[in-house]
Amino acid sequence: MAAKLITKGSCGRLNAGIFAELWGSTYCKRASVTAFPVRLYSGEDKEFNRRRTGFYWLLLTSGVGFGLGLGYYLSRERKRLSVLPSVIAAKPTDAGSGDGDNINLREKFNFIAQVVTKVAPAVVYIEIKDHRRLDYFTGRPTTASNGSGFIVKGDGLILTNAHVVINKPHSSVQVRLHDGQTYPGVVEDVDMKSDLATVRINCKNLPVMKLGSSRDLQPGEWVVAIGSPLSLSNTITAGVVSSVNRGSDELGLRGRDIDYIQTDAAITFGNSGGPLVNLNGEAIGINSMKVTAGISFAIPIDYAKDFLKRSEAKVKGAGTSNSQQQGRPRRYMGITMLTLTPEIIAELQMRDAHIPADVTHGVIVWKVVVGSPAYTGGLKPGDIVTHINDQPVQNAGTIYQQLDASGKLDMLVIRQGKPIRLTVIPEDTV
């Protein structure tokens, strides 16, 4: 770029407006000579400015195009994402509090406690009082045995096992309710074949146990056993159903024709007659007997329903009926027993190392009534009776045959893996 000095002679030929545009001020005096630096553009400068202007326009149009493209893309993505469901982030919970929106795990998962709260008021504790033996301190009859039951009618009708309330000479039945009140009980009807009995107390407006159905019971289903083991009333155990059709022949119980419910819920002495309930709070069985830990049996409630219908018909037709009085009374020994089948023996040998390998038959004593002839003779729960009066015990029927005869009972018993001999003198029932 060239710069020239402009003298006063050339000042007249220049337009003052051009100087004002280029430099902001113009001085043109004829009297003197003033020099102004004027910037004149050549052809190269014009070409440079033209290219620079084009580059700026290119940047501007590119930016506008990029912005429009990005806006279009984001608008499409926004429409696509809008079809997805909204998700609320998880919130931490306080397991120990049930306030507000927090989850109370005890209320949510304590299904056993909910069942017990519902059915416990209908469960009763049954004591058999022996009037021949008096307590040294109180002078009252001592407790010969105990069991459980549950109320099936609000007018005082109670369902229990037959072996809980019968074959107890010189004794009476006492029933204690959930609230602690005690009433004398009267055995109203007994069915020895199904091992069921009804007891009546003089009390009205009682809570009633709802009877379910054992027909649709499934293996693996949760059940709750309620009873009075070891004289501890309202004791709760829970487990699952192991089998729903354990035949009486498999258990060596001849002539009963009952498919028992097998469960691993703990059932011990005093649980007999108590209810086995499902998670709906319905009685689906009557706790009957235990072989060993994890193997217990209950009578299906459908058999009990049939028994209650027959019992009601007997009472309406001919007054109180007790089938125990039918036929010749059997002598009383005071035990509850279970026939040992090959399957039960194998199970016992797996669980208990004290069962000898040469035991192939017999009965296992499940319960011994305190003060009974068996108790006096030395029999204990868990004993295995293999021979009686020098005859091999094939099943419980062998014991009953000897009870129907006269004389004492000489027994060969396996206890803790060792054979011992005991003598029991049965009593005549009155």
* Catalytically annotated residue among 195, 214, 288, 296: 195
Based on the residue annotation, tell me whether 361 is a catalytic residue of this protein: no
Of the candidates 331, 337, 389, the one whose C-alpha atom is nearest the C-alpha of residue 362 is: 337
**pLDDT tier for residue 412 given thresholds of 50, 70 and 90:** very high
Cα–Cα distance for residue pair 239/271, rounded to 1 Å? 15
Q: pLDDT at position 429, please?
A: 61
Q: Which two tokens stand for residue 151?
A: 């109320």
CATH architecture of 329-424: Roll (2.30)
Predicted local distance difference test score (pLDDT) of residue 34: 46
For the cut 70, the answer to whether the pLDDT of residue 325 exceeds it is no
pLDDT value of residue 388: 93
Residue spans of the domains in the chain: they are 1-64, 112-318, 329-424
* Catalytic residue (one of 145, 148, 272, 296): 272
CA angle 144, 303, 403 (to 5 degrees): 45
pLDDT at residue 341, as a whole number: 81
pLDDT in tens, 192-223: 888 899 999 999 999 999 999 988 888 999 99
Distance CA 126, CA 105 (A): 36
Residue whose structure tokens are 């069921």: 196
Beta strands in 301-374 (DSSP E): 335-339, 363-368
List the alpha helices (DSSP H) in 100-170. 105-109, 111-119, 162-165
N- to C-terminal Cα separation, the chain? 145
CA gap 129, 140 in Å, rounded: 9
Q: What is the pLDDT of residues 346-384, one digit of tens each?
A: 877 887 767 788 888 888 887 787 778 888 899 998 899
Mean pLDDT of 109-116: 86
* pTM score: 0.59
The fold of the 112-318 domain, in CATH, is Thrombin, subunit H (2.40.10)
More confident: 402 or 319: 402
User: What does pLDDT average to over the chain?
Assistant: 77
Angle CA(385)–CA(161)–CA(276) in degrees, nearest 5? Answer: 105
- 216 included as an active-site residue: no
Q: Position 99: which residue type?
A: D
Tell me whether residue 195 is one of the annotated catalytic residues: yes
Rounded Cα distance, 397 and 385, in Å: 13
- Using alpha carbons only, what angle is made at residue 38 by residues 34 and 41, rounded to the nearest 5 degrees? 160
pLDDT at 107 over 50: yes
Annotated catalytic residue within 145, 163, 233, 383:
163
Q: Which of 85-94, 273-282, 320-329 has the highest mean pLDDT?
A: 273-282
CA angle (217 as vertex; 211, 222 as ends), nearest 5: 90
> What is the Cα–Cα distance from 400 to 408, expressed in whole angstroms?
13
Backbone torsions φ then ψ of 144, nearest 5 degrees: -80, -40
More confident residue, 162 or 251: 162
Contact 220, 240 (CB under 8 A): yes
